[in-house]
């Protein structure tokens, strides 16, 4: 059913899933699905016929364009191929759609392109809700045509246009979905937060929002339809609420919440210099996850003991061409020097999946998460892989660096990756370029086959780091970014807990250590379980790090061990979760929101 936008001054609360904490208050900038939302502005009544004419003119221009394309395609590829444009022309000239747009302009007194956009959105939303793959394709066709019409509106705007529509101003993005690259490319000086219809806690978009410190909410049904550009909203990245047109008393209430949160977080800064150890003196290394080298000051401020995961793909693939060996050497050297004497672990490129591909693919992959990603790409693109490994080796003289390979599924890949590393070392020797011969080498345990083979892998490396974001997805066969199956995505799934235990045991039996850098490590409710399972290092986002430190310092290792033993016998996710959560609440309820 068509859905109305909320009127301009009603206070409305929309709910989703909070994925990145923080509170912000600003006007909205809406980004629709597949189509760029045009700005909206009110028109005077005497402008109505002018707006209707603009709409008709845009349709007319589009009609000529589509007919021309149709003819060209017919000449090149034949009649059959050109039929799609016949369908596009029918969509363009659909009588009921035209009536809706004209009535909309008359009744809403809004500019033609926005009314057209809103009508198209109601159509495509209704079609998509039917969940029929054939009809979903038709929604894409409709958007295709609509995008063309929107581009053909004559752009001279009357002066009523609101000035604040300029997204150069500080704003909160409300979007159907954002890709990790959209998030990386966001103008952070202007974008205070974002809310999307799609997405999940473990998507890279959400992880990036946390590391960039941008409050974010995902999974708000029909957000794009319900919110319009320029509406003022509060985005509460703690509770997952978006409040449209908040009343003065609501703003006051949230300002107070914001002050309290800040005070609480400032209190944790005192812990910066203290050790991460339990009440009975069991040490855990607490390090930070980063995506960009400019996060280094945050790592220091949070009191991290090193970097447990530098996801290099956003740095390498975020800005056009992949930086060459020299430019990479500079960045990794800064990271090494920035955290010394602690260890900084550089993870080699993890392209693919829901992240950017290393190169344009000839055709889309049917199952990107099971496809060309992680170490598979690096091994297939040896030149690119060697540039990165040589840069890491050259940087290793500036501090304590480690290298880690992502998405390893078995021993062969580890041996192959180590061979390439050895080749780089030999070259540097010949070139008389210094590096640390004892560079620590690790693998991520994020594929069940790697966890099961951990005893073999442990003989080849210096450490493991468990990537629970992927380990859960591959163990339970649940797409980490698909909200339709998110109820199955449980870090405490007994199968996942057993794989973690197997990994930890295999590492200790072979004299190496195991860390965890997936998002599970940031969940305060699960800290007792991870400490009890014997994980040696936790690597978390800088915003969460002080809280995890405080949590560990409130726990008793022997109690955690006893509880984890019980957890390993449990048959259901919720039983394991409740055991750990119970201990977390008893030990530091004041930290958990």
Q: Which residues belong to the active site?
A: 204, 517
Q: Taking CB under 6 A as the rule, does residue 22 contact ligand PEP?
A: no
- CB closer to Mg ion out of 39 and 470: 470
Give me the torsion for CA of 324, 325, 327, 329, rounded to 10°.
160
Q: Which of 197, 135, 150, 148 is nearest to 39 (CA)?
A: 150
Which of 226, 311, 490, 543 binds ligand PEP (CB under 6 A)? It is 311
**Contacts for 453 with CB less than 8 Å, ≥ 6 apart:** 410, 411
Give the span between the Cα atoms of 192 and 190, in whole angstroms: 6
Which listed option, ligand PEP, Mg ion, none, makes contact with residue 30 (CB within 5 to 8 Å by class)?
Answer: none
Q: Taking CB under 6 A as the rule, does residue 587 contact ligand PEP?
A: no
Residue pointed to by tokens 């704003």: 171
Q: Taking CB under 5 A as the rule, does residue 467 contact Mg ion?
A: yes
Phi/psi for 408 (5° steps) reads -75, 135
- CB closer to ligand PEP out of 469 and 581: 469
Of residues 258 through 297, those in contact with Mg ion by CB under 5 A are: none
Distance of closest approach, residue 469 Cβ to ligand PEP, in angstroms: 3
Structure tokens at 179: 């890709």
Structure tokens at 367: 């199952």
Distance of closest approach, residue 190 Cβ to ligand PEP, in angstroms: 26
- CB closer to ligand PEP out of 198 and 469: 469
The single-letter DSSP state of residue 229 is T
Q: Taking CB under 6 A as the rule, does residue 470 contact ligand PEP?
A: yes
- CB closer to ligand PEP out of 62 and 468: 468
- CB closer to ligand PEP out of 309 and 524: 309
Which of 219, 518, 528, 534 binds ligand PEP (CB under 6 A)? It is 518
Which listed option, Mg ion, ligand PEP, none, makes contact with residue 113 (CB within 5 to 8 Å by class)?
Answer: none
> What are 400's strand-pairing partners?
343
Give the span between the Cα atoms of 89 and 145, in whole angstroms: 8
Distance of closest approach, residue 144 Cβ to Mg ion, in angstroms: 34
Which listed option, ligand PEP, Mg ion, none, makes contact with residue 307 (CB within 5 to 8 Å by class)?
Answer: none
Pairing of strands 12-15, 241-244: antiparallel
Q: Taking CB under 5 A as the rule, does residue 446 contact Mg ion?
A: yes
Which region among 12-20, 203-211, 460-468, 573-581 touches Mg ion (by CB under 5 A)?
460-468
- CB closer to ligand PEP out of 517 and 529: 517
Which listed option, Mg ion, ligand PEP, none, makes contact with residue 517 (CB within 5 to 8 Å by class)?
Answer: ligand PEP
Q: Taking CB under 5 A as the rule, does residue 470 contact Mg ion?
A: yes
> What are 172's strand-pairing partners?
28, 193
Q: Taking CB under 5 A as the rule, does residue 323 contact Mg ion?
A: no
Q: Taking CB under 6 A as the rule, does residue 350 contact ligand PEP?
A: yes
Give the span between the Cα atoms of 193 and 195, in whole angstroms: 7
Give DSSP secondary structure letters for 58-84: HHHHHHHHHHHHHHHHHHHH-HHHHHH
Q: What angle (nearest 5°) sits at the alpha carbon of residue 499, between those of residues 497 and 500?
A: 65
> Cα 456 to the chain's mean position, in Å?
32
Which region among 208-216, 360-368, 462-470, 585-593 touches ligand PEP (by CB under 6 A)?
462-470
Which region among 463-471, 526-534, 541-549, 583-591 touches ligand PEP (by CB under 6 A)?
463-471
Of residues 427 through 446, those in contact with ligand PEP by CB under 6 A are: 446
3-state secondary structure 311-359: ECHHHHHCCCCCCCHHHHHHHHHHHHHHHCCCEEEEECCCCCCCCCCCC
Which of 399, 467, 515, 534 binds ligand PEP (CB under 6 A)? It is 467
> What are 283's strand-pairing partners?
277
Asked whether 395 and 401 are in contact (CB, 8 A), the reply is yes
Give the span between the Cα atoms of 197 and 226, in whole angstroms: 11
Which listed option, ligand PEP, Mg ion, none, makes contact with residue 518 (CB within 5 to 8 Å by class)?
Answer: ligand PEP
Distance of closest approach, residue 480 Cβ to ligand PEP, in angstroms: 8
Give the span between the Cα atoms of 454 and 451, in whole angstroms: 5
Which listed option, ligand PEP, Mg ion, none, makes contact with residue 100 (CB within 5 to 8 Å by class)?
Answer: none
Phi/psi for 482 (5° steps) reads -100, 110
* Residues lying near Mg ion in the complex (CB under 5 A): 446, 467, 470
* Residues lying near ligand PEP in the complex (CB under 6 A): 207, 309, 311, 350, 446, 467-470, 517-518
């Amino acid at each position: 059913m068509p859905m109305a936008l909320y009127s301009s001054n009603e206070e409305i609360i929309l709910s989703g899933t909070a994925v990145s904490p923080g509170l912000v208050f600003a006007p909205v900038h809406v980004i629709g699905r597949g189509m760029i939302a045009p700005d909206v502005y009110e028109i005077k009544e005497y402008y109505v016929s002018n707006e209707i004419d603009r709409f008709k003119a845009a349709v007319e221009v589009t009609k000529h364009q589509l007919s021309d394309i149709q003819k060209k395609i017919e000449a090149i590829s034949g009649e059959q191929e050109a039929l799609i444009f016949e369908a596009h022309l029918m969509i363009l000239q659909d009588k009921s759609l035209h009536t809706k747009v004209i009535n909309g302009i008359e009744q809403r007194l809004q500019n033609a392109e926005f009314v057209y956009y809103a009508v198209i959105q109601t159509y495509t939303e209704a079609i998509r809700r039917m969940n029929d793959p054939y009809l979903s394709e038709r929604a894409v066709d409709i958007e295709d045509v609509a995008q063309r019409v929107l581009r053909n509106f004559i752009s001279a705007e009357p002066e009523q246009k609101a000035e604040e529509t300029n997204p150069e101003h500080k704003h909160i993005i409300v979007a159907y979905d954002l890709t990790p690259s959209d998030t990386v490319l966001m103008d952070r000086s202007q974008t205070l937060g974002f809310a999307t219809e799609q997405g999940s806690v473990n998507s890279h978009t959400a992880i990036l929002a946390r590391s960039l410190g941008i409050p974010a909410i995902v999974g708000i049904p029909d957000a794009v339809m319900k919110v319009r550009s320029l509406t003022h909203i509060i985005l509460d990245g703690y509770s997952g609420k978006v409040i449209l047109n908040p009343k003065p008393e609501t703003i006051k209430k949230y300002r107070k919440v914001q002050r309290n949160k800040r005070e609480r977080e400032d209190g944790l800064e005192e812990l910066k210099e203290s050790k991460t150890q339990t009440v009975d003196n069991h040490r855990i290394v607490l390090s930070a996850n980063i995506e960009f080298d400019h996060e280094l000051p945050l790592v220091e401020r949070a009191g991290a003991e090193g970097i447990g995961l530098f996801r290099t793909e956003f740095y390498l693939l975020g800005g056009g061409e992949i930086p060459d060996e020299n430019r990479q050497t500079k960045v990794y050297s800064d990271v090494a020097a920035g955290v010394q004497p602690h260890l900084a672990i550089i993870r080699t490129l993890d392209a693919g999946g829901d992240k950017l591909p290393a190169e344009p693919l000839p055709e889309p992959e049917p199952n990107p998460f099971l496809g060309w990603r992680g170490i598979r790409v690096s091994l297939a693109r040896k030149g690119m892989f060697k540039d990165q490994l040589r840069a890491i080796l050259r940087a290793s003289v500036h501090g304590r660096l480690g290298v880690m390979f992502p998405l390893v599924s078995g021993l062969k890949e580890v041996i192959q990756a180590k061979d390439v590393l050895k080749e780089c070392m030999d070259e540097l020797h010949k070139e008389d370029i210094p590096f640390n011969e004892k560079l620590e080498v690790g693998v991520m345990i994020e594929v069940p086959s790697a966890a099961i083979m951990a005893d073999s892998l442990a003989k080849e490396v210096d450490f493991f780091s468990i990537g629970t974001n992927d380990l859960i997805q591959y163990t339970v066969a649940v797409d980490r970014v698909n909200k339709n199956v998110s109820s199955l995505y449980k870090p405490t799934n007994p199968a996942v807990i057993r794989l973690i235990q197997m990994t930890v045991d295999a590492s200790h039996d072979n004299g190496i250590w195991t860390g965890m850098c997936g998002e599970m490590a940031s969940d305060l409710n699960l800290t007792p379980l991870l400490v009890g399972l014997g994980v040696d290092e936790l690597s978390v986002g800088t915003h969460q790090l002080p809280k995890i430190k405080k949590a560990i310092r409130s726990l008793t290792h022997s109690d955690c061990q006893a509880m984890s033993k019980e957890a390993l016998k449990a048959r259901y996710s919720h039983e394991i979760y409740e055991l750990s959560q119970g201990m977390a609440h008893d030990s530091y309820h004041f930290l958990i929101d």
